[in-house]
Structure 1
Amino acid sequence: MTRLVVATGNPGKLKEMQAYLTGLNLELVLKPAELEIEETGETFAENACLKASQVAKLLGEWAIADDSGLAVDALNGAPGLYSARYGNSDSDRIERLLSELGDTQNRQAQFICVVAIARPDGSIALQTEGICPGEILYAPRGTGGFGYDPIFYVPEQQMTFAEMPPQTKHAISHRGLAFQQLLPKLSQINSTHSI
């Protein structure tokens, strides 16, 4: 079984990645807690590549990272890169976003996720992006998920992320779409380079 270091200190993200990468004979491990990577990129792709590259180079092992966020059209793409830092808690972030949108009619938004895998020398071996379009509701609905899930409505499903069964969300979400693109490429690299 080959090790792949997940460039995060978040055990929840590790668990989520394990679910997406199941069956690939990879042992996913969290990066050491003391290893802090500053997200200085100006795009989700730059941040994902930065995290994967730095962790891989510092540890001399293959590494995987993602960066994601919510981009709201009427707010010129905000909260964007600052989605996780838009407030102190999920409820604060939702409250701030709804307050900033107010009665705006244009509620179009998209969740974006970029996943990057770096070789032990820090060079990027793979990068994929998933985008899930939707709308921001005027009030939260549903109890599942986390973050902005209760206000992110997907018209095709007629539900918010927070109302969806986990398997539905995983199939259509930005992160799910990014990993769906990644899996065939990762399998190919794993068989030829022994990640």
Structure 2
Amino acid sequence: MKEIGQTSRRLFVASGNKGKISEFQALFSDLPVSLHLKPKGFEVEESGKTFAENARIKAIAVAKETGHWAIADDSGLSVTALNGAPGVFSARYGTTDSERIGRLLNELRGKGDRSAFFSAAICLASEEGDVLLEVEGVASGLIALAPRGENGFGYDPVFEIKELGLTFAEMPKQQKAQFGHRGKAFKILKPMLIKLLSD
């Protein structure tokens, strides 16, 4: 696949999250792009009310700052019994992954409905800050009673895909890419991105 075009395109990922960067690297491995971290110390205020709005804000800001294409995703967990919380505040639900998971499990204590879904909105912006592509992927599941598994990051140890009986943290990367929200979003994005890189 890397023969598309003559050279690889520099693509900045609007994130400092190493787990997220690692997933992007796996998803982009066969495309003619070289991934780069956003500039150190460059922060963008996520003021959007939806995952899509936040992804757009981050991609545009990093693209304008670097003068290169930038890709951003905003993702999070929405829990039915908590009226959709933590939602866009998923990363701000605590200061560490274990703190966020602890708070979530505590707030779900005694509730019968443990259904939840992960959403991932991805936005690609040009160096001028124009939106080139926007997609969204959703993974439905439920919140486990306790964390399980060593892989992944964030809420992965407590988010279970019901039909598999596995949490994201119990899945190898390839399986998570297949069933995960980011993998589903990328599956929609990839053919569109290939076309863009071919033009």
Q: When the two structures are superposed, what TM-score results if normalisation uses the length of structure 2?
A: 0.93
Asked if the contact 1:9–1:32 (Cα under 8 Å) also holds between the matched residues in 2, the reply is no
Secondary structure of the residue that 1:144 maps to in structure 2? coil
Partner residue in 2 for 1:26: 33
- Per-residue deviation, 1:137: 1.6
Give structure 1 regions of 4+ aligned residues with deviation exceeding 4 angstroms.
none
% identity of equivalent residues: 53
Partner residue in 2 for 1:167: 174
Partner residue in 2 for 1:40: 47
Partner residue in 1 for 2:13: 6
Question: Within the alignment, does 1:77 sit opposite 2:84 as a pair?
Answer: yes
Question: Within the alignment, does 1:134 sit opposite 2:134 as a pair?
Answer: no
1:143 equivalent among 150, 165, 172: 150
Unaligned runs of 5+ residues in structure 1 are none
Question: Within the alignment, does 1:95 sit opposite 2:102 as a pair?
Answer: yes
Structure 2 letter corresponding to 1:5: F
Residues 99-154 of structure 1 deviation map (CA, whole Å, 9 limit, x = unaligned): 11111011110010011000111111001111000001222222222221111111
Secondary structure of the residue that 1:180 maps to in structure 2? helix
Partner residue in 1 for 2:56: 49
Structure 2 letter corresponding to 1:60: G
Distance, in Å, in 2 between the alignment partners of 1:63 and 1:140 is 33
Distance, in Å, in 2 between the alignment partners of 1:128 and 1:77 is 20
Asked if the contact 1:150–1:162 (Cα under 8 Å) also holds between the matched residues in 2, the reply is yes
Unaligned runs of 5+ residues in structure 2 are 1-7
Distance, in Å, in 2 between the alignment partners of 1:94 and 1:21 is 29
Asked if the contact 1:11–1:30 (Cα under 8 Å) also holds between the matched residues in 2, the reply is no
Residues 58-104 of structure 1 deviation map (CA, whole Å, 9 limit, x = unaligned): 22211100000000011011011111111121111111101111110
- Per-residue deviation, 1:41: 0.7
Question: Within the alignment, does 1:178 sit opposite 2:185 as a pair?
Answer: yes
Structure 2 letter corresponding to 1:117: L
Secondary structure of the residue that 1:168 maps to in structure 2? helix
Structure 1 letter corresponding to 2:186: F
Secondary structure of the residue that 1:139 maps to in structure 2? coil
Asked if the contact 1:113–1:131 (Cα under 8 Å) also holds between the matched residues in 2, the reply is yes
Gap change, CA 1:10 and 1:159, over 3 Å in 2: closer
Distance, in Å, in 1 between the alignment partners of 2:26 and 2:117 is 23
Question: Within the alignment, does 1:157 sit opposite 2:164 as a pair?
Answer: yes
Structure 2 letter corresponding to 1:61: H
